[in-house]
């Protein structure tokens, strides 16, 4: 662990990740409350926030990953935060002119830019962190995200409620600028000249061929898509667990989410010393089976304390699954393909969540609460069985780089 914190690149990326996560949560809460006030809690307007957050992932994720493989990662990360800062300033000026609807663009632009800069951060991890340190590095990164899942909404809410939309956006612009300045401390990261030459479409095709020829990545893609679907099925139904099964007020929902966040944080920390000792397929198999059991227990429980413990356990298990999937994506994928692989896999998870979420409302009317949770658990069991086919030693894929 000491060796990891002595790594300059790790320290810089963790610092900028912390700044960017703070920006994201301030943005999320400020935009949400601002739209609620301006539209009198119009559900369509509120749902547009989610659409503007996820749409760029589908449209730009693979393109952004491909360009991240092609461009200089350090420059891409710096440019991404500079563009985010400038865009927030422009949006703030437009809002001050009375065009409050442009606040939606704060979410859209931020999500779009991250599709280009985030893969570059993964590339810097691959290039500058020793392989034996990848697992603790990923665990700490996941832990940081989990920490902000707990404190982020609190900070964002306090800033907006106390100081309003203009101050919140100003803080976001300043923080993105600070993040960009910190990234100037990263070491130079030039791309190989022979890899800059191939055209964009050829590189995008290479990414698809790479996954098709790698059984391990094919398995991870299937697992992630189904895992997202299983989560999506039950995510919107948490409120019914509280009202129908536990008979408690909906205001208690925030505490259950907080417990899940604490589980994610602790799970990410524990996974540092466990994930690297066992095979990925076994961690994924056991994690999915355990998550399925917790999901069934959540649906059947009518005891508040038991359900609270189960939410904590679900966060703990998800942390292990996330780390177990993220580590081989850095360790086993060739550096020249990391951006594209991440650009293909991320939309699969999001698509699964959105499809599951879209179906959950229909299914609960037809099947009631418990059968929907059982369906989610069954999907997780399928994920576990599929994960047993994961192979951790992919064969390199070579392509003709002639211009």
| Averaged pLDDT for residues 109-126 | 86
Which position has the higher pLDDT, 43 or 162?
162
pTM over cut 0.85? no
pLDDT band at 193; cut points 50, 70, 90 = low
In the chain, what are the domains?
Answer: 2-196 (1.20.1250.20), 200-387 (1.20.1250.20)
Is pLDDT above 60 for 332?
yes
- Give the whole-angstrom CA distance, residue 228 versus residue 57: 15
Q: What is the pLDDT of residue 197?
A: 54
Run of H or E residues at 36: helix 8-39
pLDDT at 402 over 50: no
Q: Of 9-13, 278-282, 371-375, where does mean pLDDT reach its minimum? A: 278-282
10-19, 48-57, 374-383, range with the lowest pLDDT? 48-57
258 within 8 A of 382, measured Cβ to Cβ: no
pLDDT class for 399, splitting at 50, 70, 90? Answer: very low
Give residue-wise pLDDT tens across range 136-173: 888 888 889 888 888 888 898 889 989 899 999 999 99
Q: Give the three-class secondary structure for 186.
A: coil
Tokens found for residue 114: 């991250």
Torsions phi, psi for 213 (to 5 deg): -90, -5
Average pLDDT, the chain: 86
Average pLDDT of the segment spanning 29-50: 82
Query: 10 Å Cβ neighbour count for 388?
Result: 13
Instruction: Report residue 394's pLDDT band, with 50, 70 and 90 as the boundaries.
Output: very low
Compute the average pLDDT of residues 304-333: 90
pLDDT at 192: 62
Q: Which pLDDT does position 195 carry in this prediction?
A: 54
Which residue carries 């409050």 as its tokens? 100
CA distances to 214, 237, 279, 390 from 393, rounded to whole Å, are 9, 39, 11, 9
Residues 281, 349, 137, CA angle at the centre, nearest 5°?
60
Rounded CA-CA distance 168/188 in Å is 33
Which of 47-61, 66-80, 375-389 has the highest mean predicted lDDT (pLDDT)? 375-389
Average pLDDT estimate for 365-386: 93
Residue with the bigger pLDDT between 204 and 298: it is: 298
- pLDDT score of 103 more than 60: yes
Question: Does position 95 have pLDDT exceeding 70, yes or no?
Answer: yes
pLDDT band at 20 (very low <50, low <70, confident <90, very high): very high
Report the distance separating Cα 45 and Cα 66, nearest Å: 33
Query: Six-digit token pair at 347?
Result: 């939309």
294 has pLDDT over 90: yes
Check whether 38 has a pLDDT greater than 60. yes
Over residues 65-78, mean pLDDT: 87
Q: Tell me: the pLDDT tens digits for 210-238? A: 888 888 889 999 999 999 999 989 888 88
């Amino acid at each position: 662990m000491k060796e990891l914190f002595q790594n300059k690149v790790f320290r810089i990326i963790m610092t900028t990740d912390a700044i960017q996560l703070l920006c994201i949560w301030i943005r999320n809460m400020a935009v949400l409350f601002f739209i609620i006030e301006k539209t009198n809690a119009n559900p369509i307007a509120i749902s547009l926030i989610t659409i503007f957050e996820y749409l760029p992932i589908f449209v730009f994720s693979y393109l952004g990953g491909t360009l991240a493989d092609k461009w200089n990662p350090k420059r891409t990360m710096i440019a991404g935060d500079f563009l985010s800062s400038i865009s927030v300033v422009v949006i703030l000026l437009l809002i001050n002119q009375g065009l409050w609807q442009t606040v939606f663009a704060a979410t859209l632009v931020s999500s779009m830019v991250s599709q280009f800069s985030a893969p570059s951060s993964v590339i810097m991890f691959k290039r500058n962190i020793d392989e034996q340190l990848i697992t603790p590095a990923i665990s700490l990164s996941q832990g940081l995200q989990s920490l902000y899942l707990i404190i982020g909404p609190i900070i964002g809410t306090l800033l907006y409620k106390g100081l309003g939309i203009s101050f919140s956006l100003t803080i976001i612009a300043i923080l993105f600028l600070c993040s960009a300045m910190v990234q100037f401390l990263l070491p130079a990261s030039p791309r190989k000249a022979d890899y800059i030459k191939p055209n964009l479409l050829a590189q995008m095709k290479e990414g698809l061929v790479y996954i098709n020829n790698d059984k391990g990545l094919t398995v991870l893609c299937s697992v992630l898509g189904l895992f997202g679907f299983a989560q999506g099925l039950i995510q919107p139904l948490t409120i019914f667990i509280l009202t129908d099964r536990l008979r408690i007020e909906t205001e208690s929902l925030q505490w259950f989410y907080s417990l899940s966040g604490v589980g994610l944080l602790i799970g990410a920390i524990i996974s540092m010393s466990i994930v690297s000792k066992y095979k990925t397929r076994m961690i994924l198999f056991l994690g999915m089976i355990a998550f399925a059991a917790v999901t069934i227990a959540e649906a059947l429980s009518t005891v508040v304390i038991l359900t609270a413990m189960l939410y904590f356990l679900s966060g703990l298990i998800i942390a292990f699954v996330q780390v177990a999937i993220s580590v081989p994506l850095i360790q086993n994928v060739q550096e020249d393909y990391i951006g594209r692989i991440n650009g293909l896999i991320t939309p699969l998870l999001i698509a699964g969540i959105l499809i599951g979420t879209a179906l959950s409302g229909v299914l609960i009317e037809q099947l009631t609460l418990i059968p929907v949770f059982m369906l989610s658990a069954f999907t997780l069991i399928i994920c576990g069985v599929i994960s047993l086919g994961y192979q951790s030693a992919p064969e390199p894929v070579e392509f003709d780089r002639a211009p």
